[in-house]
Amino acid sequence: MRTCNNKAQLQTAVKHCRKEGQTVAFVPTMGNLHQGHLDLVRKARKLCDVVVVSIFVNPLQFGPNEDLDAYPRTMAADKEKLFSEGVNILYAPGVDDIYPEGMDHQTVVSVPDLGDTLCGSSRPGHFDGVTTVVSKLFNIVQPDTAIFGEKDFQQLSIVRKMVEDLCMPITIVGVATTRDRDGLAMSSRNGYLSPEERRIAPLLHQTLNTCREAIACGFDNFLQLESHARMQLLQAGFEPDYFAIRDARTLRAVTDNTEEVAILAAARLGNTRLIDNVRLSLNPVDDWRMLADG
């Protein structure tokens, strides 16, 4: 595995692979890698000849009172994991390489609508920080394919929209959320949880599943389902930020045209903000196909 700490090194390494006619898959991360990231890498390896992973804790996507300084940085352990997974190139730039003129005068890429709701309302500027760094990384790496986790479903939807709107010649692939045995979605922030919080945390996924089952059984009073779920989370010790039943394509309210529903939640447990989501097709043919597929 070759490690590149700046754009020039990275571009030389990628150019070399391109000369050999190899295709390139890219997995952008902020490090502190867990099995969820490694599943993205495995998918990347299946899709392309060369896998590039970036590790960059992007200051532009953190709000002033968020955990930028505390965000876990575990480069040595991350490198070992990527090496074991057969990653070809690690791009681990410093802040100066990505924002050489500082962040105040940086051109910003912003996806409207999808980026304004849910986590976009509670973390103002967060998604502009994500889309700005992801477009910079895409321009630096110039991959054929980029892989993102479905755990950050809103982020994945926003990146897909950005790529479509800006005609970026990159295929975006989403990978199903990797979960611990008790259902908790894997996240670099799970490490902040105390043992007692870790015990409670899987309830977020259980509450999402209960809601999905109610909708699958035909219960269609979504406001009631949302407020019941929020109440359950509160009672369990969470501070819910949102629990929302939305159209999976628009992330707006479900309408008669909705084909797939996304149920998305963000909630604090102590100082840790957890997010998760589940989805449900409203097209009976899809349900039938899923049953037939086992």
157 near ligand PAF, judged by CB under 6 A? no
Query: Which one, 56 or 222, has the nearer CB to ligand PAF?
Result: 56
Instruction: Select the residue interacting with ligand PAF from 29, 177, 272, 277 (CB under 6 A).
Output: 29
User: Is 151 assigned a ligand-binding role in the annotation?
Assistant: yes
For β-strands 145-149 and 171-175, DSSP reports them as parallel
Reply yes or no on whether 37 is catalytic: yes
The catalytically annotated residue of 37, 105, 126, 205 is: 37
User: Is 135 assigned a ligand-binding role in the annotation?
Assistant: no
Full 3-state SS string of the chain: CEEECCHHHHHHHHHHHHHCCCCEEEEEECCCCCHHHHHHHHHHHHHCCEEEEEECCCHHHCCCCCCCCCCCCCHHHHHHHHHHCCCCEEECCCHHHHCCCCCCCCCCCCCCCCCCCCHHHHCCCHHHHHHHHHHHHHHHHCCCEEEEEHHHHHHHHHHHHHHHHCCCCCEEEEECCCECCCCCECCHHHHHCCHHHHHHCCHHHHHHHHHHHHHHCCCCCHHHHHHHHHHHHHHHCCEEEEEEEEECCCCCCCCCCCCEEEEEEEEEECCEEEEEEEEEECCHHHHHHHHHCC
Binding part of the chain for ligand PAF, among 28-36, 115-123, 200-208, 250-258 by CB under 6 A, reads 28-36
CA dist., res. 127 & res. 22, Å (int)? 32
82 near ligand PAF, judged by CB under 6 A? no
Query: Which one, 155 or 277, has the nearer CB to ligand PAF?
Result: 155
Instruction: Select the residue interacting with ligand PAF from 25, 26, 28, 212 (CB under 6 A).
Output: 28
Query: Which one, 78 or 152, has the nearer CB to ligand PAF?
Result: 152
User: Is 155 assigned a ligand-binding role in the annotation?
Assistant: yes
Query: Which one, 28 or 240, has the nearer CB to ligand PAF?
Result: 28
Binding part of the chain for ligand PAF, among 115-123, 127-135, 205-213, 220-228 by CB under 6 A, reads 127-135
58 near ligand PAF, judged by CB under 6 A? yes
Instruction: Select the residue interacting with ligand PAF from 39, 85, 152, 226 (CB under 6 A).
Output: 152
Binding part of the chain for ligand PAF, among 11-19, 105-113, 130-138, 174-182 by CB under 6 A, reads 130-138
- Please give the size of the binding site for ligand PAF, defined by CB under 6 A: 10
134 near ligand PAF, judged by CB under 6 A? yes
Give 6: exposed, middle or buried? Use CB within 10 Å, 0-12, 13-18, 19+.
Answer: middle
Which residues bind to ligand PAF, rule: CB under 6 A? 28-30, 58, 61, 130, 133-134, 152, 155
- Known binding residues for (R)-pantoate are 61, 155
Task: Output the known binding site for beta-alanine.
Answer: 61
Residues designated catalytic: 37
**Bind-site residues:** 30-37, 61, 149-152, 155, 186-189
